[in-house]
Amino acid sequence: MDGKLDTNRVFTAEGAPNIALIKYWGKRDEKLILPQNSSISLTLSRDTLHTTTSVLVSSKLDEDRFYLDGEIQDLKDKDVAERFGIVGIMRKMAGIREKVLIVSRNDFPTASGMASSASGIATLVYVLNEAFGLGLSTRKLSIVARQGSGSACRSLFGGLVEWKRGAEPDGSDSYAEQVFDEKHWPELMDNIAIVSQEKKKVPSRAGMKQTVQSNPLYASRPAAAEKRLSELTEVYGKKDFESLAELIMADSNEMHALMLSTRPSIRYLNRSSYKVMDLIEGLNLSEGKNIAAYTFDAGPNAHIITLSKHNAKVMEALEQLKASGDVFDVRQSKIGQGPSMLGKDFSLIDDAALGPKAGN
């Protein structure tokens, strides 16, 4: 057993989702989760959306247990097992055998395209690093997180974060890196217009595999995304919102067009998502410049990137869609930081989670 392993203490961390501005949609290695192109995202503020995860490592536990939003998860379920594999990876790195009790909560709808898996996995990897006494760098943690869910690796940093495609077959150069921290452009913000709380029908893992395998239009995607990513980095550095907005909308539309033209067709956007697109395009047109940009991950909820000085106008425009029942909530987020540990006293683990099987 590692000398640093503290089996009496509950470790708790908090992390946030990210919204991709240049999207990852397609792998070149399914097992290691290596992407076809680099991607870039903004980490959201934990004040708006967050995952909180507590971990207890104990030799008294006879099996791993994982509670998500109050419900015990079936670790034999394929989807859960694929993501939970990172626990085994990290346990092996630490050279320990003890089982873990993990209790995790999201303060936003899980699996509705709001990157709950990214937030959840980044936070889990971060807290396990402490609980297992591993002392890994954030870059190394991003490599582990990537293997649970690709986009999760970007949530280990704050601000604007790039996940590098890399070229090595073992994935050692496919990691996340901060491009600009959250203080670079403090006026930038994301309004998340929630149009649905339903669970997504096609998991992103299966969806992107289908696109890469069966969509002839996919061939042009990786190079187009790389080009757009370097343009975006440049305009972000100059705080050129007009150009940033163009690139954001173009990339979201390109990814969703690829999904749509995949056979069988994958459609994450719904009628209300299209209404948000119309609204933002109309607003930009009437202003004579881009004051906002929409982007959608693998779900119908819209992320509207804007600047704080334009936010009142964006919120006012969204009122129309609230009145029509298309948008039922808007969460306003600033650009946030990567995960951090919460104080020793903060724990989500209660008696119910410990239960008789924990073998106290």
Residues that bind ligand PMV (CB under 6 A): 20, 23-25, 39, 117, 149-151, 204-205, 297-298
CA distances from 51 to 54, 89, 203, 210 (A): 10, 21, 20, 29
Q: Specify the DSSP class assigned to residue 335.
A: B
Q: 163 near 171, Cβ under 8 Å?
A: no
Task: In angstroms, give the least distance from the CB of 149 to ligand PMV.
Answer: 4
Provide the residue count of the chain.
360
Tell me how far apart the alpha carbons of residues 219 and 261 are, in angstroms, rounded to a whole number. Answer: 13
Tell me how far apart the alpha carbons of residues 347 and 97 are, in angstroms, rounded to a whole number. Answer: 23
Max CA pair span of the chain: 66
CA-CA-CA-CA torsion sign (170, 28, 117, 224): positive
Tell me how far apart the alpha carbons of residues 278 and 110 are, in angstroms, rounded to a whole number. Answer: 26
Tell me how far apart the alpha carbons of residues 182 and 188 are, in angstroms, rounded to a whole number. Answer: 9
Beta-carbon count within 10 A of 262 CB: 23
Is the peptide bond preceding residue 35 cis, with omega within 30 degrees of 0?
no
Tell me how far apart the alpha carbons of residues 329 and 105 are, in angstroms, rounded to a whole number. Answer: 20
Q: Please name which of 58, 25, 49 lies closest in space to residue 192, comparing C-alpha atoms.
A: 49
Structure tokens at 121: 């996995």
Tell me how far apart the alpha carbons of residues 240 and 238 are, in angstroms, rounded to a whole number. Answer: 5
Residue 308 has φ and ψ, to the nearest 5°, of -55, -30
Beta-carbon count within 10 A of 117 CB: 25
CA-CA-CA-CA torsion sign (281, 282, 287, 292): negative
Tell me how far apart the alpha carbons of residues 355 and 238 are, in angstroms, rounded to a whole number. Answer: 54
Task: In angstroms, give the least distance from the CB of 284 to ligand PMV.
Answer: 23
